[in-house]
Structure 1
């Protein structure tokens, strides 16, 4: 049976051969599913965070990540081969076709074009999702980014998300009541840093009110609250007024003193560390802003760097830490829901790094 349409499908590599031949060639690889990679040296074997990746080994009991190859799962195959939706795949033998190239800075198979279960036969990628909460594919939306990496991928994504409508700054209040609604209480919003559920109507400037936090601090590039970056919902979140004031325009990094009103958040003179539950959210918002605002059409050019203390320059750090946070805190249902609402009801564009968090590593 040929599922890939080329001769490599019927003579697959072992995992050991795939690890040893990371040369960018397109090959089929056969191995046992042994978990989901979450970083270069970490593979989880239960409580899978999403359906975006899996690890293969030549032995179903392999525990050494050096003996594994990491597989990137495109959205058309996630409902059938993602481990969050299909934990029963653990220990099964499958065959995958794709490009032998690093994934999570580890020997990998990316740009995958075919998957086959050797236990139960080939799976049709058009099968309906097994979980209604799977991330939407929106593959046509990203067509022009397919197969690209590095600057070419960044440029393609910029062109996809560039043209969109933003609200007035006053209209942002109402939008945040929708995008950040507490799923357990429709009268409340969830505040980004504290995690507190608070009445939608208690917005303003009072000590215990919530206000509009620019996650990419508006002074970093001096874009203020004008339409465009100043009102882009993809990085605006409700936060407690005093917690927002403490964060100010600090760059992002690990460490510091705990913020008393928002336990789990830390800060010092030049950086802010959000609570673990939203570290990835923050990173993916920063990635979006870097890609979306490139200096064309008279807009500011926003760029990440690896510094703190960026002040009013159009830079935001610390890039290496943000990339770590992207891997440590995977995309969750609230982020997916938020991305969909902004796309469908307000701006008509998406945050690509919520749909494809692996693209951050491929660009930076």
Structure 2
């Protein structure tokens, strides 16, 4: 039988082992310190550190800077610079970082060549120093899509447990209720790119695309899938329905609430005309061209599949337009026949519809496309349905 011998460690070996352990701990500490020092900065942090240091910054592409206080968000003229911000819907140049795009990166990150980058998140490493006489990042050594903050391509969570935008886009609203929540959400979603009424056609072709047929859009009230090119005012054409009727506040179709895609939807032209500027409520006679819809003299009831969609669009408008930006203060109320007053009802019914028809995949995709490609802002009641109760009870 073999026997194993045991050897007692010599004192010298213990000393050596202890020294090695100390060295490893020190190395880990140094590595941790280095990793902390190399942490990716927000745009706000980068703007506060314009001292020539090398840093990595993550932000959302807003547009092309052309002057110290001017950033264009369409019709780009060159590939040499981009402006990024901590929020995709940022409109203040004071909260944007101007990033130089050198020749090595222009084919991938220049906006003239890649206009679809607008609203996308990027990470860039370079020197924090003035560019266009504005806070900037120059001479980049690395540029990539994505970053440490939630990517705009991620799907938002509709649950109260939190979503990918809570630590960034909704950071100032988290944990609030009532008037404090309302005020915070208004401050967040009012930062948006405003479209012209003609641009709404193209936006709706994207936001309301039929998931089963990329050549078609889904019409709101009828549910019909129809060619994207069959739009206009003719019989069976689709046109641009203002879900918050534009006469309720008399804002028309000019840039602002009249062109906000969060409440504009493609609808059958005849059904759009039949709905007119009626408030929303239950009951009435069946609408022949829109199965499941009903109407009477002063109200309109949409089909069950989009009742919640309608409610959340109305709630968005009530929060987005608070009367402090040149537009009327839009509010829900419990009446119908509101006429040209900036009110739309019936609030109790809309809240009921919101509860019984939660956001589906189509509505979530729509919210995402508006945020990524068109306006840079979100409908908070699609992302967080529970906020309706936190505001309106």
State which of 204, 228, 237 in structure 2 corresponds to 1:176: 204
Q: Distance in 2 between matches of 1:172 and 1:269?
A: 29
Shift in Å, 1:133: 6.0
Contact 1:154 1:363 in 2 (8 A): yes
* 1:248 aligned residue: 276
* 2:135 aligned residue: none
* 1:94 aligned residue: none
* 1:349 aligned residue: 377
Q: Distance in 2 between matches of 1:214 and 1:242?
A: 14
Q: Distance in 1 between matches of 2:321 and 2:155?
A: 30
TM-score by length of 2: 0.59
SS at match of 2:262: helix
Contact 2:155 2:368 in 1 (8 A): no
| 1:144-191 deviation per Cα after TM superposition (whole angstroms, max 9, x unaligned) | 111111111100100000121121001100110000000100000000
Q: Distance in 2 between matches of 1:208 and 1:254?
A: 25
SS at match of 1:353: helix
* 1:129 aligned residue: none
SS at match of 1:153: helix
Q: Distance in 1 between matches of 2:244 and 2:303?
A: 17
Aligned ranges 1:1-364 → 2 under 5 Å: 135=157, 137-139=164-166, 140-364=168-392
Q: Distance in 1 between matches of 2:249 and 2:329?
A: 8
SS at match of 1:213: strand
Q: Distance in 2 between matches of 1:226 and 1:133?
A: 31
* 1:127 aligned residue: none
SS at match of 1:322: helix
Shift in Å, 1:306: 0.5
| 1:300-322 deviation per Cα after TM superposition (whole angstroms, max 9, x unaligned) | 11011010000010000000000
Contact 2:304 2:357 in 1 (8 A): yes
Note the residue ranges of structure 1 that are not aligned, 5 or more in a row: 1-131
Say what the alpha-carbon RMSD is for the aligned residues: 1.5
Shift in Å, 1:225: 0.2
| 1:210-244 deviation per Cα after TM superposition (whole angstroms, max 9, x unaligned) | 00000000000000000000000000000000000
Q: Distance in 1 between matches of 2:236 and 2:175?
A: 48
* 1:112 aligned residue: none
Note the residue ranges of structure 2 that are not aligned, 5 or more in a row: 1-153, 158-162
| 1:299-345 deviation per Cα after TM superposition (whole angstroms, max 9, x unaligned) | 21101101000001000000000000000001100111000110011
Task: Report the count of equivalent residues.
Answer: 235
Shift in Å, 1:137: 2.1
Larger Rg: 2
TM-score by length of 1: 0.63
Shift in Å, 1:134: 6.3
Contact 1:219 1:249 in 2 (8 A): yes
SS at match of 2:226: strand
SS at match of 1:239: strand
Q: Distance in 2 between matches of 1:218 and 1:241?
A: 16
Q: Distance in 1 between matches of 2:325 and 2:296?
A: 36
